[in-house]
Structure 1
Amino acid sequence: MVNLADWISKGRFTIVRDTKKDELSALSYSLNIMSGKLKKNIHELENKNEELNKFAYVVSHDLKAPLRGIYNVISWIEEDLSDEVSPALRRYLNIIPQRTQRMEALINGLLDYARTNRKTAPEEVDTNSLIQEITQSIVPRNFTLKIQKLPKIFTERLKLEQVFFNLISNAVKYASPEKGFIEIGCLQNNHIFEFYVQDNGIGIDPQYHNKIFEIFQTLREKNEIESTGVGLAIVKKILDDRGETISITSHLGEGTVFSFTWRNNKRI
């Protein structure tokens, strides 16, 4: 009976055949019913998630087509009627591409958010190499970048890469363009790692520390293309799905430190 309860807690919904008909039979019967219902509910939830992912892809694809059409029409107007466009109208025409590009960025963010449900096989990941690949592609060369010694872990590479990519991207967006500083490091407690990404950016008022993890929430102005408010929501979703935690240490004007836990799938 204890084994059955332990199996259920780990997601192994086994049915126990009880032939003794003793005082534990009623408990066995109840556990079997609970196991069956949980298995059915989880199966239905997985199907719903799959349907939601397909819906997100279809809708996003359908939304992108008219956005590109709008952008093309504006380009044609500027090319064919450039001599007839007044300065005021030109200002309005310049605003439209900015809005359409932001909309496309939001759609791409939505697709990235939907992809967090995908499962990939765990593998040995050298986080030093992973961080080098990410920072070389998104961190400006004039930034001061400090990378502490990072571990090798056995895990889903794609999920860990998404978390680091979005946290480092966030640090780049809000750091000082002239004197940007980013530090990435890790503390280890047995098979649990606590990574951190620190920057010297504008900082975040404590009253917004929870709000920034909500999808489409951003501290930047809504017309700024590079800030969609999806990145930190993706980070939070991945960590929540894995049962991990994330914390933030920040005040206005004092930079920000994001710290998150990440468990090794197995010891290596």
Structure 2
Amino acid sequence: MTLSFRKKNLGLIEGVIYSKGATVKEIVERGWDVGSGARVWRRRLLAWEEESVSECLSLLCDIVLQVSTLDRWWWVFDPIGGYSVKGTYKYLTLPTTHVETGLYDAAWLKQVSLKVSVFVWRLLCNRLPTKDNLLRRRALHHDDIFCVGGCGCPETSHHLFFRCDTFGRLWLHVYQWLDILFIPLDMVRDNLHRFGNLAGAPRSTHTFLQVIWHACVWLIWKETNSRIFNHKTKEVGLLLDSVKLTSFLWLKANKLTSAFSYTDRWRDPLLCMGARD
């Protein structure tokens, strides 16, 4: 196996590496550290290229070489039948799992505006300009990676939207408003899938819950931008009021709450969703 095989999968550019024909054995002998003979570049790497290199190294660092075993090509998607054009086309065109397909469908809701759907899509793909992503692109200094919420923790997408002591409390107020018990999960996409398909809730409520989830993350992001650029802060209680109003207006625009007023939905949202009598 050579680096030229990995570069097609991970986006490495063949023209920027001198040792592009080196085998895995040769790279292991040279070492993985920066400055070692295994990492010699013809020019300075771009930000996305550095990410690809890190991903490549994470795949290679766990490889254990066996002296008695010869190198061979192995098509991981069909190790028995081997490579075929039909199998490759099927892999590229079919969704990986039904959960991911449904999850991405939930990101593109017709009840919310296009810019909110694009924002949620970027959040699921971890492409928002959070501080960890900005640091990876060398747009921030290492001393400026702490959460804008003031909790003192490094800012990542999952931390900012779900684990932060400031913004995480918004979800607790939302759970109390909906009268549900919910434990945030470790991944953003898992949170959307679990919250939008709440166990025990009728299927008719899934769209309502997904709209509320979109409103929460959207308003959290707007609040972070307001704190950074306008130096204005909003209390969690006011954020909750904004979530209630924003989600109501989104649903009303699509005539999903015509039978209930804003006050009714404020007091008993599950009744308005048809989750209980």
Into which bin does the TM-score normalised by the smaller protein fall?
Answer: under 0.3
Higher RCO (CA < 8 A, seq sep 6+): 1
Normalised to the residue count of structure 2, the TM-score between the two structures is 0.24
